Chain A
Amino acid sequence: MLGGLSALLADPAALAWLFIAIPVGMAFGAVPGLGGKIALIAVMPFIAGMDMLAGCVFLISLHAVVHTGAAAPTIMLGIPGTGPSTAVVADGHALARQGQGVRALSAAAIASGIGGLIGTLVLALIVPFALGLMQLVSYPEIFLLTLFGIGFSAVLSGDSMAKGLTVGAFGLLIAFIGIEPVYGTPRFTLGSDVLGDGIHLVTAVLALYAIPEMLIAGKGSAAAGAPTGTRRGRGAGQLAGGLADVVRHRWLTLRCSVMGALVGIIPGLGGDVAAWLCYGHAAQSSRTPERFGKGAVEGVIGPEAANNSKEGGALVPTLFLGIPGSSGMAILLVALVPLGISPGPGLVSANSELVWAMVWALALSNIVAAGALILLARPLNRIARLKSSMLVPYIYLLAMASVYISTTEWRSLLTLAVLSLLGYALLRRNWPRAPFVIGLILGAEAEEALIKSLSLWGPGFLFRPVSLLLIATLFLSLWQLSLRLKRGSKAAKRGRAHAG
């Protein structure tokens, strides 16, 4: 273990690449539509001639810090930098609008750093048990976990669970547009080759979040853009406030970090599930769940911790079994090959020092990225304090460029326009938007898991012991959460009545 650290510290090139990877990775995270996968693809041409250790450290660090960088546009502009950042946008941007953007960014950075460290620790500790855990979770459990995510987002959607579930079902249906992967059947494509590829996640997220927020800001409404609340504390005070928030919610940070790492280990679940699962958990365990979506700092801390810890967990199947835990990890797997690394069961015995150096690089890059985000929090806060209508045209263009980069298809801009109109209507009428995105993200995974479960076990797949346990947990959690939300909103109404 320490051999890996000394190998990393003794190699100046590897250390230099680590420090180059951090700003590059953060920048890729900060531009919506780019993200970790594009970052890895973009650097692949430069990897071929690199030293094995330096190349590995560069790739691992680059991919690890993407979510930390994504926190900046997510919180300050309300534009989710990456898919999992959608879990942070509601509360993070609400805090920024209340003049507490530095506090939210500081809490996000510290939670990300801690999450990354715990993910690394899990990666280091879990190796002997990883195979057993992966065998325990199969398609039925993946199917139920995806339902878990949609159910939570609907319950957290505000006054009407029916509206949340309707929007979630719509998101699921939109996820099924395109060529069905098993039989290759075109589904709901209306004969168009653009719809044949399905609706890209970046298009949907930007249409549902960024564009509607900017449309409201363009109207000069107070609902988006420049902070509307009183500025609570100066920058330094807010930085300390973010730290205090993480200390106050230390057990939540710890729990979400461990949950994120465990979700990361399960191949196919990915960061979106980790982030939303932890957002739901943060709301469920909060004393004031009714504040979620309106600027609850726990809604930032939970998903941010999970986003980064998931990276450590996802490396377990990728490195030790050669099974990528997510599409990003699949690209990482491909990028490691030109360096002469063959991920798989024999990697630890053949290259133990290299594996531990990668583990240390993961930990170090998370700490440095968290520090960089804290340092950048105050300058970034100025962006949030700009007159929102000044940003509007640039954000329209940035959103459109992100969609074009992700799909390389100009007709996707028309899809963006249609979905933006829907997003605007949902925002204007206070309908929840998160369940749509969750449905869209989890739709393909839910379908694959459902069909495979039915093929392997028949309808009896729901009665497997782990499935029964998950179903019971799902219903109990949703029931408990909705009860707490009802109590919370009643208490809030009473409070408002007293204040009035």
Chain B
Amino acid sequence: MRVDLALAATFALVFAAALIELPAYRWQVALAPGLAAGIGLALAGLVGLAAIRRRHAAPEARWGTDDLRTLLWFALALGAVLLLGFALGGGLYVFAHSLAAHPRLARLPVAALCGAVVPLVVTQLFGRMLQIELYRGLLLGG
């Protein structure tokens, strides 16, 4: 996959979409975004053309299963926090990551210890000391 080209195309698409929306606004509201989107679209076009001219993508430009696995671990962290909150979801995520991430980082007791730190920090440091209540998760009442 040509990531450079995909990035330039994504930027160009966003700039074009912004330019299409601008006529609905008064000039004071549209001027600055119009300038940014107009200049950005021209530049993204230039970068995209340069990427097309380069026929062969460098090996590091190609995304593989490593990238996918890394992104999935991040998605898992996000999902756990969104569903179960920072204390429980975060703790479970750290436990799972410590136990299963590649390369394997810890055995069961160490992984459990690593995971247990999270709810402690969330409830004691953030909750009690700083009086900041962190998100409790969609499944646990937000």
Contact = CB atoms under 8 A, between A and B. Distances in A.
B31 A451 contact: yes
Contacts of A376: none
Interface in B1-59: 3-4, 6-8, 10-11, 14-15, 18, 21, 25-26, 28-29, 31-33, 36-37, 39-40, 43-44, 46-47, 50
A187 B74 contact: no
A16 interface: no
B77 A393 contact: yes
Given A166-B47, A393-B77, A396-B77, A173 B3 contact: no
A393 B105 CA distance: 12
Given A390-B105, A431-B7, A173 B78 contact: no
Contact of A429 (B3, B10, B21, B132): B3
B7 A429 contact: yes
A43 to B, nearest CB: 11
B4 A429 contact: yes
Interface in B54-83: 60-61, 63, 66-67, 69-71, 73-75, 77-78, 81-82
B117 to A, nearest CB: 8
A419 to B, nearest CB: 12
B113 interface: no
A161 B142 CA distance: 44
A410 B71 CA distance: 20
B34 to A, nearest CB: 10
A218 B101 contact: yes
Given A218-B101, A405-B132, A413-B82, A173 B40 contact: yes
Given A165-B39, A187-B25, A219-B66, A400 B94 contact: no
Interface string A159-189: 0101101110110110010001011010110
Contacts of A163: 47
B84 interface: no
Contacts of A447: 31-32
Interface in A18-42: 42
Contacts of B77: 393, 396-397, 400
Tell me what chain A mostly uses at the interface: helix, strand, loop, or mixed.
Answer: helix
B47 A429 contact: no
Contact of B47 (A160, A220, A401, A410): A160
B40 A394 contact: no
Nearest to B24: A185
A195 B138 CA distance: 20
A428 B67 CA distance: 10
A25 to B, nearest CB: 14
Given A163-B47, A169-B40, A183 B94 contact: no
Contacts of B66: 219
B81 A393 contact: no
B105 A389 contact: yes
A410 B130 CA distance: 19
Contacts, number: 155
B108 interface: no
B73 A218 contact: yes
Nearest to A417: B78
A420 interface: yes
Interface in B83-135: 86, 90, 93-94, 97-98, 101-103, 105, 118, 122, 126, 130, 132, 134-135
Q: Choose among B7, B78, B138 the residue with the greatest number of A CB atoms under 10 Å from its CB.
A: B7
Nearest to B4: A429
A422 B126 CA distance: 30
A439 B11 CA distance: 14
B71 A451 contact: no
B15 A413 contact: no
A175 to B, nearest CB: 8
A451 B28 contact: yes
A185 B61 CA distance: 41
Nearest to B86: A401
A292 to B, nearest CB: 21
A17 to B, nearest CB: 19
A428 B3 contact: yes
A188 B81 CA distance: 28
Contacts of A187: 25, 29, 33
Contacts of A170: 11, 14-15, 40
A397 B94 contact: yes
A166 B8 contact: yes
B74 A211 contact: yes
Given A162-B47, A180-B29, A450-B31, A169 B78 contact: no
Interface of A: 42, 160, 162-163, 165-167, 169-170, 172-173, 176, 180, 182-183, 185, 187-188, 211, 215-216, 218-220, 387, 389-390, 392-394, 396-397, 400-401, 404-405, 410, 413, 416-417, 420-422, 424-426, 428-429, 431, 439, 443, 446-447, 450-451, 454
7 cross-chain pairs, A with B, having the tightest CB-CB distances, nearest first: A169-B40, A447-B32, A172-B36, A393-B97, A166-B43, A176-B33, A396-B77
11 contacts: A170-B11, A173-B36, A183-B29, A216-B70, A400-B81, A410-B138, A413-B78, A420-B74, A425-B7, A428-B3, A443-B36
Given A173-B14, A426-B7, 9 more contacts: A162-B50, A387-B105, A393-B93, A394-B94, A397-B94, A400-B86, A443-B32, A447-B31, A450-B32
Interface of B: 3-4, 6-8, 10-11, 14-15, 18, 21, 25-26, 28-29, 31-33, 36-37, 39-40, 43-44, 46-47, 50, 60-61, 63, 66-67, 69-71, 73-75, 77-78, 81-82, 86, 90, 93-94, 97-98, 101-103, 105, 118, 122, 126, 130, 132, 134-135, 138, 142
